[in-house]
Homo-oligomer: A and B are copies of this chain.
């Protein structure tokens, strides 16, 4: 059977860390029990230690992967401390990483999730590193799961109430509408807000720094240099400038939704 492992880290691509983590997965696997595995990079450019950005990136990505995909997510400022290593199972997917809130949005979208705390001493083989658990702890966990070994032998169940979560801001109500926050800035400089199209109640106008901007269907409908709003590929309202960077021009603008009467 073909298996997919998808990776999110803050390791960057300059160093050897990502490659070594993949090497270790393959080394632990051996040639048994699988036909081949697809190691797919989602991104390794999460800003260092930015758990929030890692959580959003995972949230925007996971649904598009094949059923059974294992997500290895290592943004881990607490590496080597008492923070837990966990495995989270939803109906369709498996998630492996530190218990620092990185899976918050997975919990929100999959309330029936199951969580397991890894018993580290069952996985860490000396000499192991206290600073590179991606290689020495998380990669072997992924290989263990790929080898279809029983999770209960290396973990204990963790109650839903005991997993760590981080806070995500949702739009704030104002007298006439909603004040939005920026959740993310993408490679093109588009400002991705926290307003999801499922939150639309009435007709509305969009204001950026108190000026109305048009809501367009896609980037191609904007004039070059024009500030526009559109619902992006994840259903979130984005502020964009065609063939330019909204972030460079606007930085962190006021963004407001005004419901029309």
In chain B, what residue has the closest Cβ to A197? B127
Q: Is A246 an interface residue (CB 8 A)?
A: no
Q: Is the CB of A26 within 8 A of B57?
A: no
Q: Is A187 an interface residue (CB 8 A)?
A: yes
Q: Is the CB of B187 within 8 A of A48?
A: yes
Q: Is A219 an interface residue (CB 8 A)?
A: yes
Which chain B residues border A235 with CB–CB below 8 Å?
127, 129
Which chain B residues border A77 with CB–CB below 8 Å?
219-220, 242-243
* Stoichiometry, copies per complex: 3
Q: Is A186 an interface residue (CB 8 A)?
A: yes
Give bound CA distance, A201 to B83, whole Å.
Answer: 32
Give bound CA distance, A16 to B27, whole Å.
Answer: 27
Give the interface segment out of A6-14, A106-114, A147-155, A165-173.
A6-14
Q: Is A249 an interface residue (CB 8 A)?
A: no
Give bound CA distance, A48 to B14, whole Å.
Answer: 12
Question: Which one of B2, B18, B22, B42 contacts A16 once the chains associate, using CB atoms below 8 Å?
Answer: B42
Q: Is the CB of A13 within 8 A of B44?
A: yes
Give bound CA distance, A65 to B22, whole Å.
Answer: 8
Q: Is the CB of B16 within 8 A of A13?
A: no
A68 CB to nearest B CB, Å: 10
Question: Which one of B6, B233, B238, B243 contacts A135 once the chains associate, using CB atoms below 8 Å?
Answer: B233
Q: Is A69 an interface residue (CB 8 A)?
A: yes
Which chain B residues border A220 with CB–CB below 8 Å?
77-81, 83
Give bound CA distance, A136 to B231, whole Å.
Answer: 15
Give bound CA distance, A232 to B13, whole Å.
Answer: 18
A182 CB to nearest B CB, Å: 15
Known: A1-B31, A78-B220, A129-B232. A187 touches B23 (CB 8 A): no
Interface positions of A (Cβ within 8 A of B): 1-2, 4, 6, 8, 11-20, 22-24, 26-27, 29-31, 35-36, 38-45, 48-49, 57, 60-61, 64-67, 69, 77-81, 83, 127, 129-132, 135-136, 186-188, 217-221, 230-235, 238, 242-243
19 intermolecular pairs with C-beta atoms under 8 Å apart: A4-B26, A12-B187, A13-B45, A15-B186, A19-B41, A26-B38, A26-B40, A26-B65, A30-B66, A36-B36, A36-B38, A48-B187, A64-B135, A77-B219, A77-B242, A77-B243, A80-B220, A81-B220, A129-B234
